[in-house]
Amino acid sequence: MEVLALSKLWTLDESQDYTQKAYQGNMNDIEEVTFCGLYCGLCASRRRIPQQAATLRQTLIQEGYNRGYFDIPGLETVFAAFWEGLNCLTDQPCPGCRAGGGNPDCAIRNCVQERGVVACPLCAEYPCARLNILENYPLRSADGQRMQVIGSEQWAAEQEARARRGLAYADVRFPEET
């Protein structure tokens, strides 16, 4: 019974206008909110991977690998591409879908833009089948419901607090089936 009561709290307020046009906050506040309702700051490719790539790059430089890679046969054939990729991971993390990152043909992105809402959870038809692609993200549903209750600006602040504590989606994601 208690779960039902909570789920009633997490519904769209029909009297609210959730379109981008009606958004009263600074649009920069929501740059980290993805079109699908995830938070960029919780994505490993935004925070952890660049940090870990930078650490690996620094280690390789300290070990002299930037000057040569003579100890492993065959490494010379792939090292240039590896180094370029490592530098890319370090210096050019995903900018987020609102800044042009991700799949430009993403059905979710296109739908949100066509409907003019800030994010999927603020759409009257949320959730829909387009979100099935995110089935490995167990927080998506509860977070989407939370966004409906408190709005995208406060939700983004809560997500940033999670990110500052070190949480990443990879910590709670369901493993992909092989």
What is the residue-averaged pLDDT of the chain? 81
CA distance 125 to 111: 11
**Does residue 130 carry a pLDDT above 70?**
yes
Candidate from 48-57, 61-70, 82-91 with smallest mean pLDDT: 61-70
Q: Which pLDDT value is given to residue 137?
A: 87
Q: Which pLDDT value is given to residue 178?
A: 63
Could you tell me which residues come within 8 angstroms of residue 10 by beta carbon, excluding any fewer than 6 positions away?
145, 146, 148, 149
Mean pLDDT of 13-27: 40
Predicted TM-score (pTM) of this structure? 0.72
Residue 3: pLDDT band (50, 70, 90) is: very low
Contact in structure between 57 and 176 (CB atoms under 8 Å): no
Q: Which pLDDT value is given to residue 94?
A: 87
**Does residue 5 carry a pLDDT above 90?**
no
